[in-house]
A and B are shown apart, each in its own frame.
Chain A
Amino acid sequence: MAMIACIKFGKEQGAAFISHLDLIRVFERALRRAKLPLSFSEGFSPRPKLVFAHALGLGITSSGEYLDVALDEDVDPGEVFFRLKEALPSPFPLYDCAALPNGVTPAMAAITHASYVFTPEDESRILQINSMDTLISTRNRKGKVVTEDIRPHISLVEKTGSGVRVIVRAGSQKNVRPDALLAALGIEEPVPVHREDLYIETGGRLITPLMRTE
């Protein structure tokens, strides 16, 4: 394995209905079409080594998804970008690509925050989080009802041009799902959600997975 190519891509309209498992196949095939020197797993059924940063719920569009691809040879990130852009189906826009050193923490383990934009009929129902001290989420986990205050895991709620931006904790340590957030607010009707980006908190600031150095 020579390098990790970290790829930033999006999911537009129709692509939002492609589940995470299907997304893996879409990228495996696009990477094969792009004729990149993929690094494969060993075993009976070898697969390219792909790690997606953070699974996205069905129906959510995104402009900030990340994928780490292990390559056997060094390839200029610009080259990876152009070859893959050509090969991806149209509802998957490609934004950026960075070459990361081997051994860099996988994005999946590193992600700490996600930024979502909600576009509800009534924005005040989400903006009201700013005036709340607690926000109780109730979930059913293996038959048991679990309640949790998710307010401490919501870092920012603000109005933007297109809706309401909410930055929440995300990743393997602590994760606030957008549907759980809506449910905790008592919003039952479907609300369009868009994921803007994923972040890693390091040294008190948020960086994107493309900027990982270690």
Chain B
Amino acid sequence: MLTYQTLCAKHLDRIEKPGRYLGTELNSVHKGDQLDRLSARICLAFPDVYEVGMSHFGLKILYHLANKRSEFWAERVFAPWPDMEKVMEEEDVPLMTLESSTPLSQMDMIGFTLQYELSFTNILHMLRLSRLEIRRKDRKDTDPLVIAGGPCAFNPEPLADFFDAFVIGDGEEVFVQILEILKEEKTKAGRLEAMSKLQGVYLPDRYSVSYNPDGTISSISPDTPVAKAVVKELRLEDYPTDPVVPYIQTVHDRVNVEVFRGCVRGCRFCQAGMIYRPTRERSKADVKELVLATLEQTGYEEVSLTSLSTADYTELGCLVPELMQVLEPERVSLSLPSLRIDSFSVDIAREIEKVKKTGLTFAPEAGSQRLRDLINKNVSEEDLLNAAEAAFKNGWTHIKLYFMIGLPTETDEDVLAIAALGRKVRELGLKYTKKAAVTVSTSSFVPKSHTPFQWVGQETKEELRRKQFLLKDSLKGPGLNFSWNDPETSYLEAVIARGDRRLGEVIARAEEKGAVFDSWSDFFKPEIWQEAFAECGLDPDFYARRPRDKGEILPWDVIDSGVTKRFLWREWEKALRGETTADCREVGCTGCGVCPGLDVSIVLGGEPWL
């Protein structure tokens, strides 16, 4: 039998990074000697290269939840890099799990994570490499169940033709329930029937969609949406303190402790801020325990406290010094991926850089106060300048500012305000250091489902490019850097993010024509997609650019995130009026609907709030 290791040995000169395929990393789980005791074998699939997939924390949670149960074995697979794919094709080897080099087609279930739209062709490609039929209707009853979860599952429709089921929302509980079903039920139909009764499971073949002559949806039947799965609190035992430690360097190779899930700041462009509500914090004691236990079992030299906005963690001010007291003597560094724009965040940053110096990034998202109010980023120019001044005062010389271009109603004036802000920050820095430098980093706004901007049309690529050049021209000079991304990929992202079932055919054709690793600029070929759209008779602008009416049936109406459509529309109207909505932890309930709708509540410091 050919395994990844024998393939690597035989073709060493052709495989750039064999470390991707070894499957024997520290803490990887091998149950090959107890196969007869297993009730089900599953494969957790991440549709991108190993270094990206192994940086994803959700995968590690599910790996842990399945493997700590003796009757299940969860293995991993990532998209093989083209060098390995070529070798596998020549050797006539199908896609296999990393741990045991078992073909994916022999699993009971394959679970893909949907982290970004531009990974969708990789999913189809991985099914093809597994020698499974891509479309659900073509797969046999004896083939594995193919399911998906993750943020993009909140609009599952573009992938509706391919998956047996989607898991919507927090995975911790529903994933374990699905494992139990795999154990109890042995037929595909029986398993799906049992899964249909779980909160958070969407079976696309149980829904049918019809369309109006203008291409909009006329009805979805049945019209009962699937409510997301939600955990009431983040439990200690669901957290993997023994995650797999890669041999090769990955994007995020460190201890990640999720200090809270869900963010109620209410930035109107932010899908994560809407779909992961409500905020559920771990207690400070739990965070410390998890950090220390994971360090013992991994030997990592860096700890990251992750969340959508870690500076909002209620007890951060006490947690950080307490952690540093333990980490500093061990030369373990602490990092916070997301800083708020205030001097408190700078104080925290100063505290954590005792071990390792890092850069500082702030995200005002928009240049003008008008637009910052529109997106509900409750930050003033004064806040930013104060934070920047605190940073320069404390010895930082380089500050990175992150913005979006193409936000709703944006004018050239708003774009130029980005440059003005960048300059102001640098001039402020010059008072403290001659080396003061500012990097302005921009991305193109992509309207996402389940947000107040879900009805908005994206700007044209030409307009986005023009604005990028406008900004580039006004950001010339010493100490100012500018970086941007390609509007072409943002456009495709916008098409798929709010696509319907008919896009499935486009994605399938694009993959057939060779689209893979679309999120990698070296691989992305827009002309393939143009051809695929043309062949399917679909206009991508219909999805990306067209503003939707209030009453339009949206493809993702099949999914109930808990945040009501009424709330989202109200937020959109407030946005246009330039009104902001405060954080519900500060002003009380703002009526998004999650807590009463899903019978959950905000959890602060490990304790339910209100």
Q: Say whether A associates with B.
A: yes
Residue of B nearest to A19 (CB): B19
6 A-B residue pairs with CB within 8 Å: A13-B5, A18-B22, A22-B247, A22-B248, A46-B356, A58-B18
Residue of A nearest to B333 (CB): A45
Set B5, B12, B301: member contacting A190, Cβ < 8 A: B12
Alpha-carbon distance A28/B25, docked complex (angstroms): 15
Residue of B nearest to A89 (CB): B26
Q: Across the interface, do A31 and B299 meet the contact criterion of CB distance under 8 Å?
A: yes
Q: Across the interface, do B299 and A30 meet the contact criterion of CB distance under 8 Å?
A: yes
Report the 7 A-B pairs with minimum CB-CB distance, sorted nearest first: A29-B299, A17-B18, A32-B299, A33-B299, A59-B12, A14-B22, A89-B26
Set B5, B9, B18, B301: member contacting A32, Cβ < 8 A: B301
Residues of A at the B interface (CB closer than 8 Å) are 13-14, 16-19, 21-22, 25-26, 28-33, 40, 44-46, 48, 58-59, 87, 89-91, 190, 192
Set A32, A46, A89, A190: member contacting B24, Cβ < 8 A: A89
Q: Across the interface, do A18 and B330 meet the contact criterion of CB distance under 8 Å?
A: no
Set A19, A30, A89: member contacting B25, Cβ < 8 A: A89
Residue of A nearest to B4 (CB): A14
Q: Across the interface, do B296 and A44 meet the contact criterion of CB distance under 8 Å?
A: no
Given A31-B299, A33-B296, A190-B10, also A25-B355 (CB < 8 A): no
Alpha-carbon distance A100/B356, docked complex (angstroms): 30
Contacts of B22 in A (CB 8 A): 14, 17-18
Alpha-carbon distance A17/B295, docked complex (angstroms): 26
Tell me the dominant secondary structure on chain B's binding face. loop
Decide yes or no whether B357 CB sits under 8 A from chain A: yes
Residue of A nearest to B245 (CB): A29
Q: Across the interface, do A22 and B12 meet the contact criterion of CB distance under 8 Å?
A: no
Given A22-B19, A89-B26, also A33-B301 (CB < 8 A): no
Which range contains the number of B residues in contact with the other chain?
A: 20 to 34
Given A89-B25, A190-B10, also A18-B299 (CB < 8 A): no
Contacts of A91 in B (CB 8 A): 24
Decide yes or no whether B106 CB sits under 8 A from chain A: no
Contacts of A21 in B (CB 8 A): 249
Alpha-carbon distance A29/B299, docked complex (angstroms): 4
Alpha-carbon distance A144/B190, docked complex (angstroms): 68
Would you give the 0/1 interface string for B227-270, flagging 1 where the beta carbon is closer than 8 Å to chain A? 00000000000000000010111000000000000000000000
Residue of A nearest to B298 (CB): A29
Contacts of A26 in B (CB 8 A): 247
Alpha-carbon distance A31/B248, docked complex (angstroms): 17
Contacts of A59 in B (CB 8 A): 8-9, 12
Residue of A nearest to B30 (CB): A90
Decide yes or no whether B211 CB sits under 8 A from chain A: no
Alpha-carbon distance A192/B12, docked complex (angstroms): 11
B14 CB, min distance to chain A CBs, angstroms: 11
Residues of B at the A interface (CB closer than 8 Å) are 5, 8-10, 12-13, 18-19, 22-26, 245, 247-249, 295-301, 330-331, 355-357
Q: Across the interface, do A18 and B5 meet the contact criterion of CB distance under 8 Å?
A: no
Given A22-B248, A46-B331, A58-B18, also A14-B24 (CB < 8 A): yes
B328 CB, min distance to chain A CBs, angstroms: 10
Given A17-B19, A22-B19, also A32-B330 (CB < 8 A): yes
Alpha-carbon distance A26/B248, docked complex (angstroms): 9
B183 CB, min distance to chain A CBs, angstroms: 29
B78 CB, min distance to chain A CBs, angstroms: 16
Contacts of B8 in A (CB 8 A): 17, 59
Q: Across the interface, do A33 and B297 meet the contact criterion of CB distance under 8 Å?
A: yes
Alpha-carbon distance A16/B24, docked complex (angstroms): 12
Alpha-carbon distance A45/B356, docked complex (angstroms): 5
B526 CB, min distance to chain A CBs, angstroms: 35
Given A19-B19, A89-B24, A89-B25, also A44-B357 (CB < 8 A): yes
B113 CB, min distance to chain A CBs, angstroms: 25
Alpha-carbon distance A87/B245, docked complex (angstroms): 12
Contacts of B9 in A (CB 8 A): 16, 59, 190, 192
Contacts of A45 in B (CB 8 A): 356-357
Alpha-carbon distance A45/B25, docked complex (angstroms): 25
Residue of B nearest to A30 (CB): B299
A106 CB, min distance to chain B CBs, angstroms: 22
B32 CB, min distance to chain A CBs, angstroms: 13
Contacts of A40 in B (CB 8 A): 331
Residue of B nearest to A18 (CB): B247
Q: Across the interface, do A87 and B19 meet the contact criterion of CB distance under 8 Å?
A: no
Contacts of A13 in B (CB 8 A): 5
A60 CB, min distance to chain B CBs, angstroms: 10
Contacts of B12 in A (CB 8 A): 17, 58-59, 190
Given A14-B5, A17-B18, A32-B330, also A44-B299 (CB < 8 A): no
Contacts of A90 in B (CB 8 A): 24
Alpha-carbon distance A14/B248, docked complex (angstroms): 13
B11 CB, min distance to chain A CBs, angstroms: 9
Alpha-carbon distance A26/B5, docked complex (angstroms): 19
Alpha-carbon distance A13/B24, docked complex (angstroms): 11
Contacts of B18 in A (CB 8 A): 17, 58
Residue of B nearest to A21 (CB): B249
Q: Across the interface, do A28 and B299 meet the contact criterion of CB distance under 8 Å?
A: yes
Residue of A nearest to B28 (CB): A89
Set B13, B23, B249, B301: member contacting A29, Cβ < 8 A: B301
Alpha-carbon distance A169/B417, docked complex (angstroms): 65
Query: What 8 new A-B contacts, CB under 8 Å, besides A13-B5, A28-B301, A190-B13?
Result: A17-B5, A17-B19, A22-B249, A25-B247, A28-B299, A29-B26, A33-B297, A190-B10
Alpha-carbon distance A165/B128, docked complex (angstroms): 46
Contacts of A25 in B (CB 8 A): 247, 249
Residue of A nearest to B21 (CB): A17
Residue of B nearest to A12 (CB): B24
Contacts of B298 in A (CB 8 A): 29, 33
